[in-house]
Structure 1
Amino acid sequence: MHTLHHGFWIYFFTRHHPKVWQFVLGSMLPDYIYVVLLIIIMANGYVTWTELGNLSPRVLMGFVSQFPWVVKIDLIGHSVPIWLGCLLLSFLPGIKHFRPFIIGWGTHLLFDALTHGAYSNFYLYPLAAYTVESPVSYWEGNHWFREFGYINTGLMTVVAIYLVYEWWKKRKSIQ
């Protein structure tokens, strides 16, 4: 699932929670490293602003081998044991305020497990190199990416219309 889609879906499901933006930011956490990678490859002239809109995940992943530290940060961000350790730490008194952020991060791991085919993540890093390969992928042609895209985009459109309706109804009741 694309990074912003993680944020969209967690926003929809947590929009009435007072810490909704912590959930949203946490849900995109593991992929922030790719924003940094995009900035670096653009600064080095590998990709221009005009090419950015057509940059596929496959092409972006091709740059990862040139920046091995990106792989390490990606492994850490997509690791269930590391996430679980952070979640357990969030039950300590001084750290409990980060729990919505950490739960949002966990939803990212769950959605990735459901939407990553051949290029799935090593979820048990650093303990093991096991992956969960979903039969569905959001960008791999041989893993139903087109069908997934239609369904995800359709559902997001319906939800966006509902959110606008909800906002309009609330705004109208205030006036």
Structure 2
Amino acid sequence: MFTLHHGFWLYFLSRRHPFVWYFVLGSMLPDYIYLVLIVVMLYDGNISIPELITMSPKVMMSYLPIYSWAVMIDLIGHSVVFWGAFFALSMFKRLSKTRAVVVGWGTHLLLDELTHGAHANFYLYPLSMSAVHSPVSYWEPAYFAAEFKAVNGAIMTAMAVYLIYNWWNHRKNNK
């Protein structure tokens, strides 16, 4: 699932919660490294802005091994082991305000587990380099990418229409 889709889904599901933006921030947390990587690749001249606009996720992921620090951060960000450690720490009263971000991070891991086929994450890193391969992928044609995009896109469009409709009614009723 694309990074912004993680945020949109969690926004829709938690929009009435007072910590909604912390959930959304956490839901996209493991993928922020890709934004940093894009900036570094643009700065280094490895890609140009026109290339970036048309770049597929497969091509983007092929650049990842060039930057070993990005691979390490990606492994840590997509690890249930690290997530579990942070979740346990968020149970302490002094760190309880971080819990919404950590829960959002956990939803990212869950959704990735359900939507990553051949390019699956190593969820038990650093304990194991085993991966959980989903039968569905959001970008790999061999794993029903077209069907997934159609269904995900239709549901997200319906959610957006619902949100706009509610916003419009709320705005109209408050005048």
For 1:157, the aligned partner's letter is T
Deviation of 1:93 (Å): 0.9
| SS of the residue 2:54 aligns to | coil
Question: TM-score under structure 1 normalisation?
Answer: 0.98
Is 1:159 the counterpart of 2:140 in the alignment?
Answer: no
Counterpart residue type for residue 115 of structure 2: T
Q: Is 1:111 matched up with 2:111?
A: yes
TM-score for the superposition, normalised by structure 2 = 0.98
- In the alignment, the residues of structure 2 paired with residue 44 and residue 71 of structure 1 have an alpha-carbon distance, to the nearest angstrom, of 17
Q: How does 1:23-38 map to 2 (within 5 A)?
A: 23-38=23-38
Deviates more, 1:68-77 or 1:50-59: 50-59
The aligned residue for residue 126 of structure 2 is 126
Q: Which amino acid letter does the alignment assign opposite residue 28 of structure 1?
A: M
Deviation (angstroms), 1:147: 0.4
Q: Give per-residue Cα distances to partners, 1:127-173, cap 9 Å, x unaligned.
A: 11121100000111100000000001111100000000011111112
Superimposed CA distance per residue, residues 78-136 of structure 1 (whole angstroms, 9 cap, x where no aligned partner):
01011011111111011000110000000000000000000100000111112110000
State the 1:174 CA deviation: 1.0
Whether 1:21 aligns to 2:21 is yes
Aligned counterparts of 1:109 and 1:169: Cα–Cα separation in 2: 35
Q: Does 1:9 align with 2:13?
A: no
Other-structure match for 2:83: 83
RMSD: 0.7
Deviates more, 1:28-37 or 1:52-61: 52-61
Gaps of 5+ in 2: none
Q: Tell me, in whole angstroms, the C-alpha distance in 2 between the residues paired with 1:70 and 1:82.
A: 16
Letter in structure 1 aligned against 2:22? Q
User: Sequence identity of aligned pairs in percent?
Assistant: 52
Distance 1:90 1:173 in 2: 40
Aligned counterparts of 1:86 and 1:93: Cα–Cα separation in 2: 13
Q: CA deviation at 1:55?
A: 0.9
Aligned match of 2:146: 146
Amino acid at match of 1:121: N
Letter in 1 for 2:36: V
Amino acid in the other structure paired with 1:171 = R
Separation in 2, partners of 1:83, 1:169: 39
In 1, distance between residues paired with 2:65 and 2:101? 29
Please state how far the C-alpha of 1:51 moved relative to its aligned partner: 2.0
Q: Which runs of 4+ in 1 moved over 3 A?
A: none
Determine helix, strand or coil for the equivalent of 2:66.
Answer: coil
Number of residue equivalences: 175
Amino acid at match of 2:91: F
- Alignment-derived partner of residue 48 in structure 2: 48
Output the amino acid matched with 1:134.
S
